[in-house]
Copies of this chain bind each other. A is one copy, B any other.
Amino acid sequence: MGNSFGKMFAVTSFGESHGSGIGVVIDGCPAGLPLIKEDIQQEVDKRKPTSPVATTRAEAEEVEVLSGVLEDYTTGAPICLFISNRDVDSSPYLRDRFLPRPGHADYTAFMKYGGFNDFRGGGRFSGRITAGFVMAGAVARKLLARLGVDILAHTVEIGGIKAGTKEVAEIKRNVAANPLRCADLKAAEEMLKLLEKVKAEGDSLGGVIEGMALNVPVGLGQPVFDTLDGELAKALFAVPAVKGVEFGAGFSVAGKKGSENNDPLATEEGRVITITNNAGGILGGISNGMPITLRVAVKPTASIARSQRTVDLQKMKGAELEVKGRHDTCIVPRAVPAVEAVMAITLCDFALRARLIPEVLP
């Protein structure tokens, strides 16, 4: 259970890291959206490990469109997208099957599924699962583009090194040009140096990703439970390693007065705006038309080469573990497209719930 997300744009995830492949079914995509394989491939390719501190697993990640598209247009039927796994090496996992990696889902998955879970490469708990999110996100983005909505995420912190604030145009430009997906190129250089050092120590680093959605219409969100922030947060926690989500001023509100934190309202070109955006574009669980801004805490990669204390689940006694496998020293940069994808999926679902996208596109 729990592998579907969205009410009107419903995404169902399937597949495992070392199984046949990774897939997703999208139910609710309106008919008449131009959609070719390359639209999706292009987003998936953003996940490719390009930095010197990323995994050496080399997946072609070629997208197949198994249903829901005819003559390069969506048909209104469920769209199944699939990527076959190719470069799989399950040997380290077979050896350490009963030695859960500290900080990883190995132990909880083993317990929940009685040891039947696909443990190879983390199975369902691998970051590779986000390839499915990214495929669905590619479709969601195309739909949102119809409304003018633009979604953007970037690395703002790794291992304590913080990126400076940049304008949107600069972020877009620099993120694409940068293996760490950080808009502050000077900070990115420092981050990379630190990552290389930490990699040599057999260790890993965490960080923070900022997500933004621009030109979001006023009125998205269905409180009291299906709030825009609540659903975005839920979707973001589906990205492995996320430990915190905050909107606008986030946790800094704890030290603020109302007079500082409240965003004054004003009019601009006939519409209402706020002078500041401490709300991060969301009030009462509903978008207010200002940019949605959120920040996501990503923990350091759990799989590290250094020796760690664990428990042998067969013998139920303590053991030492050195994780082999091919792991990213920091997954933050590769989580950036996943953050964008789940933001897109969530916003698309709310746009459909608000009837902003018809059943058949014009």
Contacts and interface: CB of A to CB of B under 8 A. Distances in A.
Interface in A219-260: 219, 221-227, 229-231, 233-238, 240, 242-260
A283 interface: yes
A125 B76 CA distance: 12
Nearest to A246: B244
Most buried by B among A14, A278, A359: A14
A198 B242 CA distance: 35
Copies in the complex: 4
A265 B310 contact: yes
Contacts of A240: 284
Contacts of A80: 14-15, 23
Contacts of A82: 66
A279 interface: yes
A4 B240 CA distance: 25
B219 A227 contact: no
Most buried by B among A11, A68, A74, A275: A68
Contact of A222 (B1, B73, B244, B285): B1
Contacts of A264: 102, 308-310
Contacts of A204: 257-259
Contact of A230 (B13, B222, B223, B234): B234
Contacts of A158: 254
Interface in A103-152: 103-105, 107-109, 111-114, 116-118, 120, 123-125, 129
A31 B286 CA distance: 16
B262 A251 contact: no
A270 B28 CA distance: 30
A274 interface: yes
B66 A15 contact: yes
A113 B73 CA distance: 11
A308 B257 CA distance: 13
A226 to B, nearest CB: 3
Given A224-B3, A359-B354, A102 B254 contact: no
Most buried by B among A11, A116, A260: A116
Contact of A233 (B31, B245, B303): B245
A316 to B, nearest CB: 6
Contacts of A236: 230
Given A108-B219, A219-B111, A67 B20 contact: yes
B265 A311 contact: yes
Contacts of A125: 223, 284
Interface stretch (A48-56, A169-177, A179-187, A292-300): A292-300
A123 to B, nearest CB: 7
For the complex of A and B, list the 5 residue pairs with the smallest distance between their C-beta atoms, beginning with the closest.
A105-B284, A2-B222, A2-B226, A244-B246, A114-B360
17 contacts: A4-B4, A5-B225, A32-B113, A76-B117, A105-B223, A105-B286, A114-B361, A124-B224, A158-B254, A159-B257, A204-B259, A234-B234, A245-B245, A264-B310, A266-B318, A272-B313, A354-B359
Given A20-B66, A234-B234, A265-B309, 14 more contacts: A1-B7, A3-B222, A4-B27, A12-B27, A16-B67, A77-B123, A105-B283, A108-B282, A206-B254, A206-B258, A230-B237, A244-B244, A246-B251, A251-B297
